[in-house]
Chain A
Amino acid sequence: MERIDLLLDGKQVTARSGMTILEVALENKVYVPHLCHHPELKPAGVCRLCYVELEGKGPVLSCRTPAEAGMVIKTRSPLVDEIRSGLVELLIADRHDDCPSCAKKGRCELQKIMGYLRVNKKKARRLRFAEGALEPDTSNPFFNLDPNKCVLCGRCVRTCSELLRINAIAIIGRGYRSKVAPLGAKPIAQSSCESCGECVERCPVGGLVYKEYKRPEKHVLTVCPYCSSGCRLTLGLQKTEIVSAQGERLCARGRFGWRYIYAPDRITAPLARTEGRLVEVSWEDAIRLAATHFARYRGEEIAVVVSAKCTNEEAYLFQKFARSVLKTNNIDNTARLSHAASLEALWEATGIGAATNSLEELEDAACILMVGANTARTHPAAARKVKEAAEKGSRLIIVDPVENDFRRFAHLWLKPYPGTDVALLMGIAGVIVEEGLLDLGFVEERCENFEELRGSLADFPLGRVERLTGVPREMVAEAADVFARSKPAAVLWSTGVTQYLHGKDTVCALINLALLTGNVGSSSAGLHPLLEQSNAQGACDMGCLPGFYPGYQPVAGEGVREKFEAAWKTELNPEPGLAFTELWDAILDGRIKALYLVGANPLTELPGGYRVLESLERLEFLVFQDLFLNETAGHAHLVLPAAGFAEKDGTYTTADRRVQRLRKVIEPAGRSLPDGEIIRRIAAAMGATGFDFANPAGVMEEIASLVPGYGGIGYEKLAEGALVWPAGTAVLHKQAFHRLTSKAKLFPLDYQGPEERPDVEFPLVLVTRRNAPYYGTCAHKVDGFRKLAPGEYLEVSFKDAGDLGLGDGEEVKVISRQGGLRVAVKVTEDPPPGVVVLNYNLSQDPGKALMRREMRACAVRIERFL
């Protein structure tokens, strides 16, 4: 970069070409008044306060004037001060100027400027326009928007569009009546605002302020506990209380979601069931109770399900406990209900059960295929990257039966009937093979099974694909053409794929597409399962899977058991175990008698068809470990209080294989303990060895020695930042796939279709969708999220609403083969005719009651109340 010299206030300074005069001044610690400038935003030149005097030219706007060699600049002169003072007077003339009573006092940039320019507030009042005060918008539970204090610098609006691409707010109206507001000038809580607070962070004045603000005294870097993007979170502390969260582009969950830690209904002591009631007991009694009961059962009779929000160290200890102490492979994690299928399919195909590339690379993808992913709701950080890529010219192909806020970024939107994705994707693959659009060199050299795949593609002629999916054949062909011709192309998917019964087939079909077009093993391409929970990847990596030891080493694999028997110095059960979803039948027919649930709520997470309630009642011993009591806890014999993400040390692994440190910031609430400590105590009480680690760092040492990908990962190195497994490799499979043959596997597939098809009695297909970005982990324990959650409603297309005679807002009965519920109707453009969308928020999906084993869709009919 070229360096240039210029004279600033009589001092020689050096700048890089491309910098504006304002940037040069601020970098050299010379203050120039400014409001609309923000280092992360493009220059706007709105507030006009940053005038400086440029020799030979007079006053220029420093935020929009590039610095040039030889410039002589005065940041203060009578001329520019007069301009600035006049502008500031006009700014404050119509604003609230009662600084002492303002929440922003002391941190207000306008107050600073008034001091700098010695502006006389009283004098400015002579310019006051007669119009009265505007109504502040206090509808959002986290922040207030006060137009009386707003200086219309537009930082918030530009943050929302330039940085976040949410575009919830704009400056509306004109002249005196302009103000920052969302569509329709409605209260902000009723808009598309996602409450991320990024605008509040950047507001220079008291226009946008947090409702509760406490100035943090110190900061601790940790990881956000919500989704698998693993955003770095800096928690601000006042004494021993968390008061704020900051980070680079947080979403609402990152910024405010930590508040669940302080929810008043945390479980703070162990509880044991005595005479039908849960009663507080001491930790000693609770541990003894757990240990004596667990000891009574044989390995096959007991199962452990671990939350995918536990740390790697905890997940490792849980599976070690299940395998080496309880002698069972009935160990699974809650990602079973969202993404275990993805990771298992990826493991089968490529030899590594993880995303092949990092999400950072998306911005240079020429094409992004996004399937069954409501990314803006579930992974705001990934959504932002996809939107940025689309704006840069990446062609975005979306496969989803229901439109969402990605519509203005999408190049193509395919809307297959729910549960028919396999047919659609195989149709696309068929076109790619038939038209010769495939990367033949890659397929021949690096893949196996191609002939078998080609054979099964014959079952998917476009006519059949169109009939099964409802997607016009031209669109299928166009999608194939765009996807195959744009390289590199990345594939993203989420629970809209994996929560269908045949989700694994769909994942296989997606892997086929990426392999056929040679999009694995190069940067900005690859396969990206957007995992839900913060440590879904880690929980699977750590072997909380019934068929795999840590590092995806198969239970039935040759020499694998022996390796772990030697490492753990004990005998292990050779039989692969049961998955979370397979437990319920086993409990009902008496094969499983005891269950240890850590951070799982199967009663509401599993669809009705699993008969979870009946199963729970049948259990002889149920241990429930969590931060809060829930529906499932009501059936527990023992409840153990767990610590939250800010109350323990450990590591999380993101969906793109970054291992990051989670840091203990505060002491656990009440008598709760970190999951790792609880399992350590139970293991000790059962007389097991190999659990007496001094701290999580010690556990990580053992992990690093036993899990191939995690070799070399340790707390010392993690202190400096994230580590990518394996061995810092961002792009996997560059030279060879990690299978015995070094080749990737293509999957011939059959179409099996959704569990339920509509018929005369149940003519509509219901799918569920989260309609608010506030869910997961313990989002429902955050007051503000509960207030923002818009409630459940059923979206019905205009056509179906017309046929059934339904009005907007009408309450109806939705009846499936499994159950029924009552919900209000919203008539919209989004669902295709024949499909209705049950929108819900927070953590519980009411639609599960309607379903059998499929978790996202079922056939229903709608009845009116007459």
Chain B
Amino acid sequence: MDEELAICKKVLPFYSTRHHLIPVLQELQSKIGYLPEKVIVEVSRHLRVPASDVYAVASFYDQFRLQPLGRKRIAVCRGTACHVRGAPQILKRIEAMTNLKEGETSPDLEYTLETVGCIGCCALAPCVRVNKEVFGEMSPERVAELFDVFGEEDGNA
């Protein structure tokens, strides 16, 4: 059986009714990274909720992703502090380097580029977060460094 359905098989027995819909989706997303259609169908089957309804809920909340994420989630902070200290230029630079627009994921699933409201470390503005690591006092020039760091980490910049 494929991996995502195997995860469903493990997670779903702990839930039973329509009221569990959001927690189920949260848990499955945390394990799979996003909510593929077959997972939505599986949830629908298990909770006895029409698949279109499950999809409607998943598409309503920003926290649910219907597309897979890249292995490296680059989040450019667009909070006020970061904005005034040059976040737009940084975003533009990253867009150019990755060939992605905000909200997109590269076809090889390497990078996802997103923006966030505020990461909560305005003293380090402008900030970029990559997965769980925050890089402070960024500048367009230093953006390249980010990619160097990734390269060193797993050898495929």
Contacts and interface: CB of A to CB of B under 8 A. Distances in A.
A612 B9 CA distance: 48
Contact of B50 (A167, A184, A185, A799): A167
Given A167-B50, A408-B49, A408-B50, A172 B55 contact: yes
Interface in A813-858: 829
Q: Mostly helix, strand, loop or mixed at chain A's interface?
A: mixed
Given A408-B44, A829-B5, A173 B60 contact: yes
A170 B49 contact: no
B108 to A, nearest CB: 21
Interface string A168-198: 1111111000000011110000011000000
A182 B48 contact: no
Interface residues of B, number: 21
A408 B40 contact: no
A169 B56 CA distance: 9
A161 interface: yes
Contact of A183 (B1, B2, B40): B40
A184 B45 contact: no
Contacts of B60: 172-174
B52 interface: yes
Interface in B51-65: 51-53, 55-56, 59-61
A798 B52 contact: no
A112 interface: no
Contacts of B42: 829
B45 A407 contact: yes
A798 B1 contact: yes
B37 interface: yes
B5 A170 contact: no
Contacts of B55: 170, 172, 183-185
A407 B56 CA distance: 20
Question: Which of B2, B56, B60, B66 has the most A CB atoms < 10 Å from its CB?
Answer: B56
Contacts of A409: 48
A173 B66 CA distance: 11
Contacts of A185: 55, 59
Nearest to A799: B1
A654 to B, nearest CB: 29
A185 B56 CA distance: 9
Contact of B2 (A169, A170, A407, A798): A798
Contacts of A408: 44-45, 48-50
Contacts of B56: 170-172
A747 B36 CA distance: 50
B52 A170 contact: yes
Q: How large is the interface on A (under 10, 10 to 19, 20 to 34, 35 or more residues)?
A: 20 to 34
Contacts of B66: 184
A183 B52 contact: yes
Interface string A269-302: 0000000000000000000000000000000000
Contacts, number: 53
Contacts of A799: 1
Contacts of A174: 59-61
A363 to B, nearest CB: 19
A183 B5 contact: no
B51 A183 contact: yes
Nearest to B8: A829
B2 to A, nearest CB: 7
Nearest to A168: B52
Nearest to B54: A183
Given A172-B59, A174-B60, A167 B5 contact: no
Interface in B1-21: 1-2, 5
A798 B52 CA distance: 24
B68 to A, nearest CB: 14
**Could you say which of A170, A191, A192 has the most chain B C-beta atoms within 10 Å of its C-beta?**
A170
A802 B52 CA distance: 29
A119 to B, nearest CB: 30
Given A182-B52, A183-B52, A798-B1, A173 B44 contact: no
B37 A183 contact: yes
B141 to A, nearest CB: 34
A408 B40 CA distance: 14
A167 B53 contact: yes
B6 to A, nearest CB: 10
A184 B51 CA distance: 9
Given A170-B55, A183-B37, A408-B49, 11 more contacts: A167-B51, A167-B52, A169-B52, A172-B55, A172-B56, A173-B60, A183-B40, A183-B51, A184-B55, A191-B52, A409-B48
26 contacts: A161-B53, A167-B51, A168-B52, A170-B55, A170-B56, A173-B59, A174-B61, A183-B37, A183-B40, A183-B41, A183-B51, A183-B52, A183-B55, A184-B37, A184-B40, A185-B59, A191-B52, A192-B51, A408-B44, A408-B45, A408-B48, A408-B49, A409-B48, A798-B5, A799-B1, A829-B42
Ranked 6 nearest A-B pairs via Cβ: A167-B50, A170-B56, A408-B48, A170-B52, A172-B59, A798-B1
